[in-house]
């Protein structure tokens, strides 16, 4: 029978004081919802996402998985009930988009726990500070007897350290029946998903708790909790990168995206930030304070320190991108070097070329972007300005300080600067003029 994960994603960003729906707040460069989708898709056959009214942006992130709309926000049980027509007969798990750290392994343990005579399985945790979490009460054999909300708990019940994480799994028909039976007889007048525990117990069904680490089950309801979740994910990503053979010389200072790929024998210095879509091949080195996004760095390349690779940058094998050099939509060929203070946008730079300090490609005319093509083995002198569209032939030389507006033939030497002139005594005359005006140099 097919298994289904229902993800509740109708929450607003109220406590975050944000117009962005809660499910779309990013962690490691991806929306929280995407993290949970990635975990759920390897465990469940189907996924359904419950959104709220006018939350098309959430539906776009959820695609290609189907969405249903909770037109009135009447509580978590009411939200889950909107997806009941799609439950089917297999196991159904109810998840929350603001619980983005749950791993596929934990979801698999939850699903497997709901088998045989077990009517309902739930996730539970032991937070370091249980606070106002609902307490999970168990009997002598460990079966769950109830979930008691903190406000309604006795002192003995508040002393229980096992807390509800809010995630439930049951057979589809059972869960649909229990959800339909939930009543809004509470101070808020809402339909609470936790009430299905009492309904299952009342039917004589066994309910079990699957315990997982708090750092995995914590929810995200505020900016502070979002930062804590970011730190947890970054810890996972750093460990995975180092387990995969990459060296992070100061791991706590390196920030990765969920899709960052660092191959074995990559070395990453302190304070490096990887945005989404970065691939770094084996043997490359990323020096301190560099920022990379949407780019590929080939084997043996050296990036930074203080380099910026923007989307579309491709750095060839053994190439060098030095301090305060920025690449955007640019392919830097194998062995090419741009070691100092350069902007290279919308360019193709041939293998073995050398780009001098202060060089810029003028790729934007205020309306369109244009490309610069630099042939293999070329030398571009310091402070050259290359006005695109322009092509420099292979092995060409561009004199320092030149403004190049026309194509340069292969093997040619190009000058694009005014002829230097000198006025004898001119410097002394300027200083004398300042003196008469009382101006200091």
User: Is 347 in the same domain as 394?
Assistant: yes
* Dihedrals phi, psi of 149, to nearest 5 degrees: -70, 145
Residue 366 lies in a domain: yes
**CA 120, CA 113: separation in Å to the nearest integer?**
9
What pTM was estimated for this model as a whole? 0.89
User: Is 315 in the same domain as 204?
Assistant: no
Q: Please count the structural domains in the chain.
A: 2
Burial class (CB in 10 A: 0-12, 13-18, 19+), 15: middle
- Count of residues in the chain: 441
Residue 438 lies in a domain: no
What is the pLDDT tens value at each position of the chain, 441 positions in all?
699 999 999 988 888 889 999 999 999 999 999 999 999 999 999 999 999 999 999 999 999 999 999 998 889 999 999 999 999 889 999 999 999 999 999 999 999 999 888 999 999 999 998 888 899 999 989 999 999 888 888 899 999 999 999 999 999 999 999 999 999 887 778 888 999 999 999 999 999 999 999 999 988 989 999 999 999 999 999 999 999 999 999 999 999 999 999 999 999 999 999 999 999 999 999 999 999 999 999 999 999 999 999 999 999 999 999 999 999 999 999 999 999 999 999 999 999 999 999 999 999 988 899 999 999 999 999 999 999 999 999 999 999 999 999 999 999 999 998 888 889 998 888 888 888 877 554
Q: Is the peptide bond before 64 cis (omega within 30 degrees of 0)?
A: yes
Does residue 346 come out as left (phi exceeding 0), alpha (psi in the -120 to 50 range) or beta? left
**CA 378, CA 353: separation in Å to the nearest integer?**
5
User: Is 187 in the same domain as 262?
Assistant: no
User: Is 312 in the same domain as 207?
Assistant: no
Residue 212 lies in a domain: yes
User: Is 199 in the same domain as 252?
Assistant: no
**CA 412, CA 88: separation in Å to the nearest integer?**
73
- 265-289 pLDDT, tens digit each: 999 999 999 999 999 999 999 999 9
User: Is 368 in the same domain as 407?
Assistant: yes
User: Is 73 in the same domain as 181?
Assistant: yes
CATH of the domain at 213: 3.90.550.10
* Dihedrals phi, psi of 69, to nearest 5 degrees: -110, 130
CATH of the domain at 360: 2.160.10.10
Write down the mean pLDDT value for the chain: 94
Residue 157 lies in a domain: yes
339: containing domain? 240-414
- Residue 340 annotated among the catalytic residues of the structure: yes
Active-site residue (options: 35, 78, 271, 340): 340
**CA 136, CA 210: separation in Å to the nearest integer?**
11
Question: Which two three-digit tokens encode residue 408?
Answer: 């340069």
pLDDT (0 to 100) of residue 1: 64
pLDDT (0 to 100) of residue 440: 53
Residue 227 lies in a domain: no
User: Is 286 in the same domain as 366?
Assistant: yes
Residue 425 lies in a domain: no
- 157-196 pLDDT, tens digit each: 999 999 999 999 999 999 999 999 999 887 778 888 999 9
């Amino acid at each position: 029978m097919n298994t289904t994960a229902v993800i509740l994603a109708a929450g607003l960003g109220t406590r975050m004081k944000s117009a962005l729906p809660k499910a779309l707040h990013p962690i490691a460069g991806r929306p929280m919802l995407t993290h949970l989708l990635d975990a759920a898709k390897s465990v469940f056959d189907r996924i359904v996402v419950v959104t709220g009214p006018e939350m098309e942006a959430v539906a776009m992130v959820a695609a290609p998985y189907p969405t249903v709309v909770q037109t009135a926000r009447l509580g978590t049980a009411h939200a889950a009930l909107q997806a009941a027509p799609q439950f089917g007969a297999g196991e159904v798990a109810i998840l929350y988009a603001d619980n983005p750290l749950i791993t596929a392994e934990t979801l698999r343990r939850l699903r497997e726990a709901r088998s045989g005579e077990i009517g309902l399985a739930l996730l539970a945790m032991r937070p370091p500070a249980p606070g106002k979490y609902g307490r999970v009460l168990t009997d002598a054999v460990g079966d769950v007897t109830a979930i008691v909300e903190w406000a309604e708990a006795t002192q003995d019940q508040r002393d229980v350290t096992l807390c509800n994480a809010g995630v439930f799994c049951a057979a589809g028909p059972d869960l649909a029946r229990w959800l339909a039976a939930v009543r809004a007889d509470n101070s808020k007048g809402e339909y609470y998903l936790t009430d299905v525990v009492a309904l299952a117990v009342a039917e004589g069904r066994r309910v079990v708790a699957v315990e997982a680490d708090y750092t995995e089950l914590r929810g995200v309801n505020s900016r502070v909790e979002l930062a804590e979740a970011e730190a947890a994910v970054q810890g996972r990503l750093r460990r995975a990168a180092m387990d995969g053979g990459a060296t992070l010389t100061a791991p706590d200072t390196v920030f990765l995206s969920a899709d960052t790929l660092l191959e074995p024998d990559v070395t990453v210095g302190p304070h490096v930030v990887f945005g989404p879509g970065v691939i770094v091949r084996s043997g490359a080195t990323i020096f301190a304070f560099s920022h990379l996004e949407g780019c590929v760095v080939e084997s043996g390349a050296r990036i930074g320190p203080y380099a910026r690779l923007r989307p579309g940058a491709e750095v060839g094998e053994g190439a060098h991108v030095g301090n305060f050099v920025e690449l955007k939509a640019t392919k830097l060929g194998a062995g090419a070097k741009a070691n100092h203070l350069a902007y290279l946008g919308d360019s193709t730079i041939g293998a073995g070329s050398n780009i001098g300090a202060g060089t810029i490609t003028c790729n934007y005319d205020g309306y369109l972007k244009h490309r610069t093509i630099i042939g293999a083995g070329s030398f571009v002198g310091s402070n050259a300005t290359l006005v695109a569209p322009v092509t420099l032939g292979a092995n060409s030389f561009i004199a320092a300080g030149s403004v190049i507006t026309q194509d340069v033939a292969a093997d040619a030497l190009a000058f694009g600067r005014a002829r230097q002139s000198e006025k004898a005594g001119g410097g002394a005359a300027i200083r004398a003029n300042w003196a008469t005006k009382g101006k200091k140099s």
